[in-house]
């Protein structure tokens, strides 16, 4: 058995992607977040895993067939991730909703190792360009491996990796990817998304008064 956990929250204007405002309005930023979530769920839906779990803050969106839905716990992000991991008894890959550009090769290493039963590593971490991490794969999930790691900092990824190493784990790195946070990172992510993605359909062709790359340069 293998699982993928997606940490996400309801795409309410003023509560998601606030760093996109300006140049985008709160409603536009929420629409961008919703498209990113749709792309992430579509990506996870194609992965060769046994369980797909949406760990959600708020009212889940419609049309998420094939996913179990679990409510996020209260507290900081480290605690919410830790609680989600504590609910898994099988190897688990943790993702967020901010990397809609992911391709299967990005997460192939842990999934292939688990399928073969010959995992050479205990954990895999995907470094984010902003210093965080976009993925965490654990052969034996435990919330204690995350709980207490400072989140949303330029050294979060380094600290999380150190926590794993300090626990005696063999850790491998996944490719570095960009999280969708602000206008500049949106432009990078958009370029990497396939033409059929929800995010590309939303923003390209962009409205005449604004485009993602133009917004990134302001």
Q: pTM for this one?
A: 0.91
Give bridge partners of residue 69 from the DSSP assignment.
54
SS3 of residue 112 by DSSP: helix
Tokens 């058995």: give the residue.
1
Count of domains in the chain?
1
List the domain range (segments joined by +) for residue 13.
Answer: 3-216
Tens-binned pLDDT, residue by residue, of the chain (218 aa): 999 999 999 999 999 999 999 999 999 999 999 999 999 999 999 999 999 999 999 999 888 899 999 999 999 999 999 999 999 999 999 999 999 999 999 999 999 999 998 768 999 999 999 999 999 999 999 999 999 999 999 999 999 999 999 999 999 999 999 999 999 999 999 999 999 999 999 998 544 445 444 444 44
- Return all residues near 208 (Cβ < 8 A) that are at least 6 apart: none
User: For residues 84 and 7, is the Cβ–Cβ distance under 8 A?
Assistant: yes
Please tell me the predicted confidence (pLDDT) of residue 118.
77
**What's the distance, Cα to Cα, between the start and end of the chain in Å?**
47
Per-residue pLDDT, 205: 58
Query: Tokens standing for 78?
Result: 């480290």
The enclosing domain of 170 has a CATH number of 3.90.550.10
User: Residue 117's pLDDT is what?
Assistant: 84
Q: What is the distance of C-alpha 118 from the center of its chain?
A: 26
């Amino acid at each position: 058995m293998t699982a993928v956990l997606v940490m996400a929250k309801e795409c309410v204007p003023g509560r998601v992607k606030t760093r996109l405002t300006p140049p985008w309005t709160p409603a536009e930023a929420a629409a961008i977040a919703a498209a990113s979530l749709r792309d992430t769920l579509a990506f996870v839906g194609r992965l060769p895993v046994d369980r797909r779990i949406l760990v959600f803050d708020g009212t889940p969106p419609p049309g998420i067939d094939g996913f179990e839905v679990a409510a996020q716990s209260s507290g900081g992000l480290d605690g919410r991730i830790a609680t989600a991991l504590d609910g898994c008894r099988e190897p688990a890959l943790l993702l967020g909703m901010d990397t809609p550009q992911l391709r299967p090769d990005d997460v192939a290493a842990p999934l292939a190792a688990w399928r073969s039963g010959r995992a050479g590593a205990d954990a895999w971490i995907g470094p984010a360009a902003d210093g965080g991490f976009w993925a965490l794969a654990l052969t034996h999930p435990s919330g204690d491996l995350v709980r207490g790691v400072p989140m949303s900092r330029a050294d979060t990824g380094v600290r999380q990796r150190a926590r794993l190493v300090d626990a005696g784990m063999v850790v491998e790195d996944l490719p570095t990817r960009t999280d969708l946070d602000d206008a500049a990172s949106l432009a990078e992510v958009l370029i990497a998304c396939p033409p059929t993605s929800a995010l590309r359909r939303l923003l390209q062709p962009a409205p005449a008064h604004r485009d993602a790359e133009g917004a990134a340069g302001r």
